[in-house]
Amino acid sequence: MKVPQACARKEIRPLTSEQALAVFDAAHGDRLEALYVLAVATGLRQGELLALKWEDVELEEAVLRVRRTLTRSGGKVEVGPPKTPNSRRSVGLTSRAVEALRAHLARQLEEMEEMGSL
């Protein structure tokens, strides 16, 4: 039986090493560099990446915990728990990802200090 194209799942093809390095090079210095590095280094889904909070990240342990996801429902964007219990998980971070997150945190703290009480 042939599966209709609308129902057929696309096979996910991970980036090659060269493609991943090209993404890292292109993202270097971008305000969202850490997001791009995490996407490539962890394979997290878009909603999982966008729902991350600093409390989910342990830089010293080089691990992050997926505890929530961002979803769209009826035109609304909501943060909620992952669909399945197995989606709640810990993910190891590469040294590149930890470095990108440290730089992002430093930039955020600097921006917060510049903004003062705003």
Q: What is the 3-state secondary structure (H, E, C) of the chain?
A: CCCCCCCCCCCCCCCCHHHHHHHHHHHCCCCCHHHHHHHHHHCCCHHHHHCCCHHHEECCCCEEEECCEEEEECCEEEEECCCCHHHCEEEECCHHHHHHHHHHHHHHHHHHHHHCCC
Residue 69 lies in a domain: yes
Number of domains within the chain: 1
Residue 8 lies in a domain: no
CATH of the domain at 64: 1.10.443.10
Residue 51 lies in a domain: yes
Q: What is the pLDDT along the chain (118 residues), one digit of tens a residue?
A: 565 666 677 888 889 999 999 999 999 999 999 999 999 999 999 999 999 999 999 999 999 999 999 999 889 999 999 989 999 999 999 999 999 999 999 999 999 999 987 7
Note down the domain range covering 29.
17-109
Residue 2 lies in a domain: no
pTM: 0.83
